[in-house]
């Protein structure tokens, strides 16, 4: 399996067609056709369903496309790592994480890490409020080296390695003067009529919160605002009249729990794990290993 075959295959699979792939790779159309034919002979299967006017990816082609794109991403990362090793002073770390970690844990980890690694460039790459599934795909494509986020345990992702970092638990909080503060051990059904602030931009955190309502046979509140940034949630609590479901862990909560109006809702604990996620078989640089160790140390000291 040669790189030119893989490039031709990916180009056709992504909709360029034989002519587009040939133009993109600066070769003739017969050369592209021959590359695909040789690749299919080597694999012993057809990768496309062929009609008169087009090639359509089949089930075998879908498997190869997923693996081939991951392989290309790994080759690109290898190129980047080799470039970095040629000049140690330009080492870099690219990562993305859950919004729940960013306000406190990550800045503290970066500041402590930079004390011993002043020449390493640390970059928080990609969108913070994106769906975790999109972040997983970005990691697979090589857009960053490390992802620190919640994952859906029911969605296996081949080619990734997971390590649990911490367990995030939901606490229920009310604005000052909120009428719900007068209730003793209320249920969700007692609180459904109020305006709620829900965490996250989709994915497992929001799914688990919704599942808690379903388990208690309580309809979701009609008045809900979903916000990924926890600092915005705190500002709304301070300035308005809301109930909020806040994911928290001592290492990453930027406010003291004792300063919040916590409501002891009569419900099973809602929690989910946050993992350190990397591409399987990727080689971590010493700098990245040191950065991960710094994050783990902060978490362990806070637990």
Taking a C-beta distance cutoff of 8 angstroms, is the pair 136, 236 a contact?
no
Matching fold, domains 72-165+275-302 and 167-272: yes
pLDDT tens per residue, range 72-119: 888 887 777 676 555 544 478 999 988 778 888 999 999 999 999 998
pLDDT tens per residue, range 140-195: 888 888 999 887 656 666 778 889 999 888 999 999 999 999 999 999 999 999 99
* 179 CA to centre of own chain: 37
Q: How many Å apart are CA 142 and CA 157, to the nearest integer?
A: 15
Tokens encoding 4: 């030119």
| Residue 30 burial by Cβ neighbours in a 10 Å radius (0-12, 13-18, 19+) | exposed
> 3-state DSSP: the chain helix, strand, coil percent, rounded to 5?
45, 20, 35
Q: How many Å apart are CA 56 and CA 46, to the nearest integer?
A: 11
Gyration radius of the chain's alpha carbons: 24
Taking a C-beta distance cutoff of 8 angstroms, is the pair 242, 236 a contact?
yes
Mean pLDDT, residues 229-240: 90
Which range of 70-84, 198-212, 272-286 scores highest in mean pLDDT? It is 272-286
Q: How many Å apart are CA 149 and CA 166, to the nearest integer?
A: 10
Q: Is the pLDDT of residue 239 over 90?
A: yes
Quote the pLDDT of residue 295: 95
Mean pLDDT, residues 234-248: 92
Architecture of 167-272 per CATH?
3-Layer(aba) Sandwich (3.40)
Class (C level, CATH) for 72-165+275-302 = alpha beta
CA quadruple 98, 100, 104, 105: dihedral, nearest 10: -50
Q: Which residue has the higher pLDDT, 52 or 6?
A: 6
Residue of 267, 262, 266 whose CA lies nearest to 185: 266
Mean pLDDT, residues 262-284: 87
Weakest-pLDDT range from 40-49, 73-82, 192-201, 269-278: 73-82
Tokens encoding 163: 């390590």
Give the model's confidence band at 279: pLDDT under 50 very low, under 70 low, under 90 confident, else very high.
Answer: confident
Q: Which residue has the higher pLDDT, 204 or 229?
A: 229
Q: Is residue 275 classed as helix, strand or coil in its secondary structure?
A: strand
Q: The domain 3-65: what is its CATH number?
A: 1.10.10.10
Taking a C-beta distance cutoff of 8 angstroms, is the pair 199, 227 a contact?
yes
Tokens encoding 281: 């078989």
* 85 CA to centre of own chain: 27
Domain coordinates in residue numbering, the chain: 3-65, 72-165+275-302, 167-272
Tokens encoding 92: 């870099």
Q: How many Å apart are CA 82 and CA 52, to the nearest integer?
A: 45
Mean pLDDT, residues 229-237: 89
Where would I find the H helices in 117-203?
A: 132-140, 188-191
Quote the pLDDT of residue 89: 42
Tokens encoding 32: 């592209």
Q: Which residue has the higher pLDDT, 123 or 203?
A: 123
């Amino acid at each position: 399996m040669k790189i030119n075959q893989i490039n031709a295959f990916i180009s056709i699979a992504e909709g360029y067609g034989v002519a587009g792939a040939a133009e993109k790779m600066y070769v003739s159309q017969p050369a592209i056709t021959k590359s695909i034919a040789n690749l299919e002979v080597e694999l012993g299967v057809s990768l496309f369903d062929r009609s008169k006017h087009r090639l359509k990816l089949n089930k075998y082609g879908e498997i190869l496309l997923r693996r081939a794109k991951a392989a290309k991403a790994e080759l690109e990362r290898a190129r980047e790592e080799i470039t970095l090793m040629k000049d140690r002073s330009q080492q870099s770390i690219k990562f993305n994480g859950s919004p729940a970690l960013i306000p406190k844990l990550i800045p503290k980890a970066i500041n402590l890490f930079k004390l011993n690694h002043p020449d390493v460039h640390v970059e928080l790459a990609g969108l913070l409020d994106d769906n975790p599934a999109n972040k997983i795909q970005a990691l697979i494509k090589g857009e960053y080296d490390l992802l620190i986020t919640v994952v859906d345990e029911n969605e296996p992702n081949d080619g990734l390695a997971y390590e649990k970092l911490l367990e995030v638990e939901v606490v229920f909080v009310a604005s000052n003067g909120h009428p719900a503060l007068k209730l003793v051990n209320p249920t969700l059904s007692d609180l459904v009529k109020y305006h709620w602030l829900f965490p996250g931009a989709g994915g497992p955190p929001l799914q688990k919160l919704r599942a808690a309502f379903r388990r208690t046979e309580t309809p979701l509140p009609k008045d809900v605002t979903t916000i990924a940034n926890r600092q915005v949630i705190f500002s709304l609590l301070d300035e308005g009249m809301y109930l909020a479901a806040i994911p928290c862990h001592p290492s990453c909560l930027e406010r003291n729990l004792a300063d919040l109006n916590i409501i002891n809702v009569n419900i099973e604990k809602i929690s989910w794990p946050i993992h350190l996620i990397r591409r399987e078989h990727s080689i971590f640089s010493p700098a990245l290993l040191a950065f991960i160790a710094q994050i783990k140390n902060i978490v362990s000291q806070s637990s």
